[in-house]
Structure 1
Amino acid sequence: MKIIKIFNNNVVLADQNSHQIVLIGKGLGFQKKPGMTIQSEKLSKFTRQPKVNGLACSMTC
């Protein structure tokens, strides 16, 4: 998974197979830069926003 944006040491936005996902894990973003990859061992949670007709949907799709 490739880092797109770092929110803080524990939360990052990443790209996985052209889907944007939010990754959560202790120290996940520490000393990382956008473009670097994430080790899956440090992950504790992740979430992906579903897409409808190529557009990201809000609470109700």
Structure 2
Amino acid sequence: MGPEGAIAFLIIGFMPTLIALLRGHDNSFAIFLTNLLLGWTGIGWLVALIWSFTAIRRRVRN
């Protein structure tokens, strides 16, 4: 596997984290930790992916 394959593997592997960051999810760091520590199991990756798509609360400025 060349450098392109390693980069593609990292992008796909950390897709839940990237989605959470792009959406401004309140639990982005927790999603990152779940992805980092349990993502290799497949089930952990799927949990992090679903979590990254859950509803986020928008903070209302007064």
TM > 0.5: no
The structure where strand makes up a greater share of residues is 1
State the structure with more CA Rg: 2
Which fold has the larger relative contact order, with Cα–Cα distance below 8 Å and residues 6 or more apart in sequence? 2
